[in-house]
Structure 1
Amino acid sequence: MLVLVATVLGARLAAAGDDRVEYWSVSSAATPGDAVSRDDLRPAKVRLPSGSADSYLRTDDELDAPLDELVWAHPLTPGSLVSKESLVPRASSSHGQLPLSVAAGAAPTDLAKGDVVDVWVGPGPGDEPGGQAVRVLEGVRVLGSGDEGAAAGGSLSQTVLVDVDESQLGTDVVSTVATGHVTLVRIA
């Protein structure tokens, strides 16, 4: 009987001393611009330092808009805590979709939706040698690779659609990718 009472008291003391708080974490990878669903979120009990605790979304926090009107503002990996800046109303999302014409052999052969790539543009085959390649976009997410259509049509290139923050998407980027040889380097 004494052991049982000690066990119960010990469990209650441990529970009373638990200062962890429930925050939202993501259950699967989040892609910028994608709609947020309840299935994307799961509660996680964690203890955060007081300086960073206010940066993350607690399960009892009020959202800026109804869940079905929110989109992901930036990419998150599964298990990551959701920061207060991670969810934005659909209307304030500042992401665009940029199609890239990529020659055969200038991208990973298994490139797939969700991959993160750097976009490099430089001289292509047949151009004058000595030209410099430049990275025009860094860490953009692939929305579609166009592999199936290109292979079926016997094309030597494919159109890859990438998600680009509008702050990165200037006329210089568009004109560079439209006139140069695009190479995609997968970083994640």
Structure 2
Amino acid sequence: MTNWRGPGESGRTSAQRLRIRAWRDPRLLIGLLLVLGATILGARLAAASDDTVEYWSIRSDVAAGDAVNRDTLQATRVRLSSETKGSYLRTNEEFAAPLDDLVWAHGVSAGALVDKGALVRRSATMRSQLPLSVAEGAAPADLGRGDLVDVWVGPGPGDEPAGKARLVLESVRVIESGDDAAAQAGSLAQTVLVDVDKTQLRGSVVSTVAAGHVTLVRVS
């Protein structure tokens, strides 16, 4: 005669066996290993295919002759063609000199990569800063740093109109516009500082802008 143990105990035994078999099912283990392997392989392939390189770029606009400082530079990962990648400064390359001894050889706009010719030693730069006294109304009202201007010099409003205005400097960059300071001082003229190549600073240019009526025409 067989003893019947009741449905409760038999049900618990079957459920326990099912749970144990589910975790020990080799098909489940193989599936988990395949998923894990595919994830690792995908991550390695993605890392191998990332051929971007870190280059220096500019946070904000700089003008020729400005001092170079670390706050202006930021690292940017980009992918460049083989023809252009050698033209820009990588973050793992050494600067030509300590930053304190470097200036910008030419203006660079915010977001642009730093080309290898953009940074030069102070002693090697061929740039100068020329102050211009500009009367009220003889320059764009919204003239600002970074603008390119042509410098014309001619007779002033009260001078004899014998001479004609002539172009003495072409496409020079404004480093500083003194309109705010002039307005606070109540002056009718402002001092505009422009960046020029030293080869442009012939003696006649300096004397002409100092003695004549200067007019600035913005070209960019």
What percentage of residue pairs aligned between the two structures are identical? Answer: 59
What is the aligned counterpart of 2:169 among 128, 136, 151? Answer: 136
Matched, 1:40 2:67: no
Indicate the residue corresponding to 1:66 in structure 2. 98
CA contact (8 A) 1:117 1:142 kept: no
Q: Which runs of 5+ in 2 are unaligned?
A: 1-31
AA of the residue aligned to 2:142: D
Distance 1:130 1:7, change over 3 A: farther
Q: Which has the higher helix share?
A: 2
Indicate the residue corresponding to 1:185 in structure 2. 217
SS in 2 for 1:155: coil
SS in 2 for 1:68: helix
SS in 2 for 1:12: helix
CA contact (8 A) 1:26 1:76 kept: yes
Greater mean alpha carbon deviation, residues 37-46 or residues 74-83: 37-46
Indicate the residue corresponding to 1:18 in structure 2. 50
Residue deviations 1:75-113, cap 9 Å, x none? 000111111111111222222121111111011223334
Deviation at 1:70, TM superposition (A): 1.2
Question: TM-score, normalised to structure 1's length?
Answer: 0.84
1:102-121 aligned within 5 A? 102-121=134-153
What is the number of equivalent residue pairs in this alignment? 187
Q: Which has the higher contact order (CA 8 A, sep 6+)?
A: 1
Q: Which has the higher strand share?
A: 1
Distance 1:97 1:9, change over 3 A: same
Matched, 1:161 2:220: no
Question: TM-score, normalised to structure 2's length?
Answer: 0.73
SS in 1 for 2:200: coil
Distance 1:75 1:129, change over 3 A: same
Moved over 6 A (4+): none
What is the aligned counterpart of 2:120 among 80, 85, 88? Answer: 88
Greater mean alpha carbon deviation, residues 126-135 or residues 166-175: 126-135
Query: RMSD across aligned C-alpha pairs, in angstroms?
Result: 2.4
The separation in 2 between residues aligned to 1:17 and 1:167, in whole angstroms, is: 49
The separation in 1 between residues aligned to 2:154 and 2:183, in whole angstroms, is: 24
Deviation at 1:129, TM superposition (A): 7.1
The separation in 2 between residues aligned to 1:4 and 1:186, in whole angstroms, is: 63
Matched, 1:100 2:113: no
Deviation at 1:123, TM superposition (A): 4.1
